[in-house]
């Protein structure tokens, strides 16, 4: 089955370009696109990954857009010029799984999408450089929502109970947990079990051992 890609960008030429690149690949195609996130979501199409421009003409922010995309369960890949590190950091905090520049070669863009589909973090040089200045991030670069999910799940809650407390679906919780494990593994701190997740949460100050 071919992976379904959503694209949010308000430049038609960019849409045509990335669409041509991805549609020419085996195993993926652009299922829908929009100039804004609401425009993309209005098409009620399922996505396996969403490419999101971080600067849109509607004045929206990366964090608000990523939160709006969260119910789709699709990981978000920042697709941007990369010239505003503050927006990259904001996207990472909101849960973006990585970044790829619009100026990259087609092969690099395709590999970035394939990496996301494999559940990997796309840690490009621009992505790493932007986050290196964010000293408030935990080592694994968890987003605020991921840290929130981890704090509850690692402390003993089930995925269903975490979902109920955060008013999200159980599948969304499981998607967050999968990405959390991927991020910890990417920095050499694997957490394959729930106990391991608890230990990582304690190490990063997300869960307290007191009480």
pTM score over 0.75 = no
Please name the residues in contact with 181: beta carbons below 8 A apart, sequence gap of 6 or more: 190, 191, 192, 197
Q: 66: buried, middle or exposed (CB in 10 Å: 19+, 13-18, 0-12)? A: buried
The model's pLDDT over 165-178, given as tens digits with 9 standing for 90+, comes to 999 999 999 999 99
Task: Give the right CATH number for 144-203 from 1.20.950, 1.10.10, 1.10.3470, 3.40.50.
Answer: 1.10.10
Confidence band, pLDDT 50/70/90 cuts, at residue 91: confident
Report the run of H or E that residue 51 belongs to, with start and end. strand 49-52
Q: Architecture of domain 3-132 in CATH?
A: 3-Layer(aba) Sandwich (3.40)
Q: Would you kindly state where each structural domain of the chain is located, as residue ranges?
A: 3-132, 144-203
Q: Over the stretch 108-122, which tens digit does the pLDDT of each residue have?
A: 999 999 999 988 878
Shared fold status for 3-132 and 144-203: no
């Amino acid at each position: 089955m071919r992976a379904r890609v959503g694209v949010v960008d308000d430049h038609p030429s960019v849409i045509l370009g990335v669409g041509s690149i991805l549609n020419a690949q085996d195993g993926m195609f652009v299922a829908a696109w929009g100039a804004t996130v609401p425009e993309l979501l209005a098409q009620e199409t399922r996505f396996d990954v969403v490419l999101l421009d971080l600067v849109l003409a509607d004045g929206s922010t990366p964090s608000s857009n990523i939160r709006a995309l969260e119910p789709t369960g699709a990981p978000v890949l920042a697709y941007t010029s990369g010239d505003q590190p503050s927006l990259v950091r904001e996207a990472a905090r909101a849960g973006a799984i990585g970044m790829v520049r619009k100026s990259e070669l087609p092969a690099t863009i395709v590999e970035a999408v394939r990496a996301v589909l494999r559940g990997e973090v796309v840690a490009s040089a621009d992505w790493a450089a932007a986050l290196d200045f964010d000293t408030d991030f935990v080592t694994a670069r968890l987003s605020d929502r991921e840290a929130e999910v981890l704090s509850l799940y690692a402390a003993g809650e089930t995925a269903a109970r975490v979902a109920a407390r955060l008013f999200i679906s159980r599948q969304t919780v499981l998607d967050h947990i999968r990405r959390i494990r991927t991020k910890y593994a990417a920095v050499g701190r694997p957490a394959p079990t729930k106990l391991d997740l608890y230990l990582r949460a304690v190490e990063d100050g997300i869960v307290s051992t007191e009480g």
